[in-house]
Amino acid sequence: MKLEYHLVAGGVASAALIPVLGVNSAAFFASSVLIDFDHYLDYVYRNNFTDFSVKRMFAFHEFLYEKTNETLFLGLSVMHTVEFLLLVYAVAALTGVAAIEAILWGLLFHMVLDLIYLYRQGRLFRRALSIVEYVIRWNRLKRHGLHPELPYDLALEALLAGSKSLGDNEER
């Protein structure tokens, strides 16, 4: 789901939750949007920490989204995993801090929107929902002689080539 939709949906939901969460509705909103920071981390990691452009990160993931219909594609968004959600849940449960609980609900809200969107697009299983699942599926693809890193390599090559289809007009 695109950032704009998460901003609108998160804004509407957090505004509706003000009577329940009070000031913590801001934490709900922030987490429902900032969870996608893992897409930026993924981009920076995959380019070996040589490019920190937000614009190219969006172009990189736009290219990858087009590849998600291919059986070879397997994505991982670390902050969108069961392990990350369980970590935030544990912190919320152990501390009892209302703002952290609101953050957890914002993360879950975002995940529900993403899962609905991916399901409607027929791409639900193109993103691993667990780090363990990702490692197992990635290794299985490799054992079958496939190259699951290929879509990522192609996206980076397109960016490096200055592909107009990726909208890259800024200097590196």
Q: Pull the structure tokens for residue 148.
A: 């699951």
Task: Name the residue with tokens 């990522």.
Answer: 152
Helix (H, G, I), strand (E, B) or coil at 135: helix
pLDDT in tens, 105-138: 999 999 999 999 999 998 888 999 999 999 999 9
Spatial separation of the C-alpha atoms in residues 134 and 151, rounded to whole Å:
16
C-alpha dist (Å) from residue 43 to 56, 101, 150: 9, 29, 14
pLDDT tens figures, 86-106: 999 999 999 999 999 999 999
Residue 110: the pLDDT is 97
Instruction: With cut-offs at 50, 70 and 90, classify the pLDDT of residue 171.
Output: very low
pLDDT score at 32 = 97
Cβ-contact 156, 60 below 8 angstroms: yes
What is residue 163's predicted lDDT score, i.e. its pLDDT?
A: 52
| Whether residue 167 has pLDDT greater than 70 | no
Q: Residue 168 — very low, low, confident or very high, per pLDDT cuts 50/70/90?
A: very low
SS3 150: helix
- The candidate with the shortest Cα–Cα distance to 76, out of 130, 115, 116, 1, is 130
